[in-house]
Amino acid sequence: MHTQHIDNKLFLKFEEELTLHNVSLHQKKIDSINFSKEKHVVIDFTRASFLDTAAAIYIYTLEKKLILKNITVEILCSKKKILDILELVKIQKEKSTIILHYKKKNFIEKTGEYTYQNYKVFTLFIAFLGELFSHKMYYFISFKNIRYKEIAFEINESAVKAFGIVALTSFLIGVVIAYQSAHQLKIYGANIFIVDMLGISILRELSPLITAIVIAGRSGSAFTAQIGAMKITQELDAMRTMGFDPFKFLVLPKIIALMITMPILIFVSDIAAIIGGMLIANINLGITTDLFMDRFNEVIAIKHFYIGIAKGPFFAFLIASIGIYRGLMVKNDTQSIGLNTTKSVVEAIFAVIVCDAIFSIIFTNLGI
């Protein structure tokens, strides 16, 4: 590039190719020019043979910079390809500088949009359940289709390793309930009735619910994070490419394993919570272990234990299904994993509570 003054005009004459590789050299020469005394600048491409988009963007920026200094800018070129590139860059740059003014949505619009988004999520979840049940039928057609090793691995990961936290949480819940009730019962001299209260509430409601909440926070979130990470790294696509169905190799083993082990976890929770309540009853109310167990065997019907255990597979199915569904909903960014993991835990706990309320209504109306 060289400069020339003709008729009080400054000509910037470019020759041969002007590309990304040499535009910086031309920029240094142009930056050294004092434009304060110039009124008219001509950018001359008559001898230029080629212009790429990077160079065209620089020419556009230079033109705008000179116009801001009240300098008239003229493009001198006869080659259509160069003019087309300059025009294309100009159109795209002007589009990008347009500031769109969005109308603020009112309450009705926001409510409608939120409702429609939740409706789409619900329909996708129903489709997921339909596909899940269709693959479950594949398992029951022949027992040789069942992935025993994968199920055993998931039992160990999602249940066996959770025994400690479930037992500790249930023990503390039993301690808290017994401690809070002991003072009220002592006032009325009804110390022994703490056994009735602990037995029915823990076996029938609290143990299944507490266990489900702990598992939703521990295993449900793990399912979402694991499958979400596999989706981001395209491992699920790789499995499909190799002919492996992710539902048969990933989804079903997790759900079946959790449905098998949830009743066992609830049983462990029952034992831990009753021990916690028994400990406080002995310390605060003077009820010995033998008296506690005798009263427990006398007044607590076995149906309360069976009802609590029977809730386990239903809770497990909800937790695992929601966790896996949210994992499949992860998009191609790490932020989406955190968002869907949070949603999976919240939705699983909410679904468990709703399911427990439905069970309570049904059992109450049936007189069970």
pLDDT more than 70, % of the chain: 95
269: number of Cβ within 10 Å: 30
Asked, for residue 165, whether it belongs to a domain, the answer is yes
Give the separation between CA 236 and CA 250, rounded to whole angstroms: 10
Q: Does 130 fall in a domain?
A: no
Dihedral (CA of 298, 303, 304, 310) sign = positive
How many domains are there within the chain? 2
Residues 91 and 151 in one domain: no
Tell me the pLDDT band of 354, cut-offs 50, 70 and 90. Answer: very high
Verify that 255 and 340 share a domain, yes or no: yes
Give the CA distances from residue 237 to residues 43, 231, 326, in Å, rounded to whole numbers and listed in that order: 52, 8, 17
Residue 344 lies in a domain: yes
pLDDT of amino acid 102: 56
Bridge partners of 12, per DSSP, are 3, 43
Residues 6+ apart with CB under 8 A from 285: 182, 185, 186, 191, 194
The string of pLDDT tens digits covering residues 221-241 is 989 988 888 888 888 888 888
Q: Are residues 262 and 178 in the same domain?
A: yes
pLDDT band at 358 (very low <50, low <70, confident <90, very high): very high
Does residue 105 belong to any structural domain of this protein? no
Q: For residue range 19-71, what is the model confidence (pLDDT) as tens digits? A: 888 888 888 888 888 877 778 888 888 888 888 888 888 888 888 888 888 88
CA distance 356 to 111: 29
What pLDDT sits at residue 139? 66
Q: Are residues 231 and 336 in the same domain?
A: yes
Task: State how beta strands 2-6 and 72-76 pair.
Answer: unpaired
**Pairing verdict, β 9-18 and 40-51:** parallel
Residues 195 and 273 in one domain: yes
Single out the residue in 35, 66, 96 at which a domain terminates. 96
Instruction: Match 């869907």 to its residue by tokens.
Output: 340
Taking the CB of residue 86, how many other CB atoms lie within 10 A of it?
Answer: 22
The pLDDT of residue 182 is 83
Amino acid (1-letter code) at residue 222: A
Same domain assignment for residues 92 and 183: no
Q: Which domain holds residue 39?
A: 2-96
pLDDT tens track for 271-319: 999 999 999 888 888 888 899 899 988 888 899 899 999 999 999 999 9
* Phi/psi of residue 98, nearest 5 degrees: -75, 125
Query: Do both 201 and 71 map to the same domain?
Result: no
Q: With respect to residue 78, please indicate whether it lies within any of the assigned structural domains.
A: yes
User: At 184, which amino acid appears?
Assistant: Q
3-state secondary structure of 52: coil
Amino acid at 331: K
Strand pairing partners for 40? 72
Residues 211 and 70 in one domain: no
Decide which of 36, 61, 96 is a domain's last residue. Answer: 96
Structure tokens at 357: 């309320």
In a domain, 336, yes or no: yes
Residues 315, 208 within the same domain: yes
What pLDDT sits at residue 34? 80
Rg, Å, the chain Cα set:
36
Contact status, residue 324 vs residue 251, Cβ threshold 8 Å:
yes
Is position 208 within any domain?
A: yes
Distance CA 167, CA 211 (A): 9
- Whether 179 and 78 share a structural domain: no
Same domain, 359 and 237: yes
CATH at residue 65: 3.30.750.24
Question: Residue 92 above 90 pLDDT?
Answer: no
Residue 120 lies in a domain: no
Cβ atoms 328, 340 nearer than 8 A: no
Neighbour order of strands in the sheet with 40-51? 2-6, 9-18, 40-51, 72-76
Domain identity same for 153 and 70: no
**pTM of the shown model:** 0.68
